[in-house]
Amino acid sequence: MQDIDIVSLVGFTLIVVTFIAGFIDAIAGGGGMLTIPAFLFAGIPPHIALGTNKLSSSFGSFTATVTYYRQGLFQLRVWRWHVLATAAGACFGTWLVDQISIDWLYKILPAVILSVALFSLAQRFWVNESNTQKPIPKKMASIHGFIIGAYDGVAGPGTGSFWTLSLRFFYGLPLLNAIGATKLMNFTSNFVSLLTFLWLGYVDILLGLTLGISLMTGSYLGAHTTMKLPTHMISIFFNIFVIGISIRLAMIHWF
């Protein structure tokens, strides 16, 4: 009876965590920083945790993508080369994670994300925002999409933050438009990575589907909340969350 209670408590905790992760990820990205540690804490092996996280995350990123698309925050034709390159990168990265240890990534991740957060705070002084969504050169889109897609396939935490920040810096997108395009890329890499993990046999399908519903609900509420918040509030929340991610990672992997 006690074992059943513990299993129920762990299951309930995972459902709550994935809901919160979906809500936060829809607004600022980085939901994987909550779900992956929760999976590991529950005793799920690392590769299964990564694969199952891709299944549940696909629900959330799809929901957020549809919501932002309906709001007109991104146009599919503008990002088609990014999507293709991100898919290729995610497939490669997921295959690579089966070949190498990812411990070294988690060692450098705190410094990388903290640098990204500081970059985000400073970029307002040189980023010229434009609401127009112009076609992006194929070469630029291919390199950009493949690199971040590969990272998402290998590890994943902070991918949404990297996308949002780089889209604002390279293309001068307003924050809401950058977040919208980010969700399209997140869904692309999540889904392709999921297919690769399924092929490798690293997905707990029942657990992923169950938690995916919870994450999808949180993502739906988070996306609609974003549309009602002032842009400067979203920016502040985004930067605070990114800095929080870097501090949390440093505490886990450095100390």
Angle between helices 205-228 and 46-70 in degrees, nearest 10: 40
Lowest mean pLDDT of 16-30, 42-56, 78-92, 190-204, name the range.
Answer: 16-30
State the Cα–Cα distance between residues 60 and 66, nearest whole angstrom: 10
pTM: 0.76
Averaged confidence pLDDT in the chain: 79
- The residue with greater pLDDT, 131 or 159, is 159
Per-residue model confidence as pLDDT tens digits over 96-129: 877 766 666 666 666 766 666 666 666 555 555 5
pLDDT at 3: 47
CA distance 152 to 145: 10
Q: Which of 50-64, 117-131, 239-253 is the least confident region?
A: 117-131
Instruction: Provide the pLDDT for residue 132.
Output: 45
CB atoms within 10 A of CB 210: 17
Question: Residue 186's closest CA among 47, 115, 90?
Answer: 90
Mean pLDDT, to the nearest integer, of 226-247? 68
In 71-174, which residue ranges form alpha helices assigned H by DSSP? 80-97, 103-122, 138-154, 159-171
pLDDT for 89 equals: 95
Q: How many CA atoms lie within 13 A of 120 on its CB side?
A: 28
Q: How confident is the model at residue 47 (pLDDT cuts 50, 70, 90)?
A: confident
Residue 100 DSSP class: S
Lowest mean pLDDT of 103-117, 175-189, 213-227, name the range: 103-117
Per-residue model confidence (pLDDT) at position 2: 45
Q: Is it the case that residue 229 has pLDDT exceeding 70?
A: no
Residue 102 and residue 144 in contact, taking contact as beta carbons nearer than 8 Å: no
Q: Are 22 and 216 spatial neighbours (Cβ–Cβ below 8 Å)?
A: yes
pLDDT over threshold 90, residue 36: no
Q: How confident is the model at residue 189 (pLDDT cuts 50, 70, 90)?
A: very high
With pLDDT > 90 as the criterion, what percentage of the chain qualifies?
A: 16
Q: Where do the domains of the chain lie? A: 2-253
The pLDDT > 70 percentage for the chain reads 74
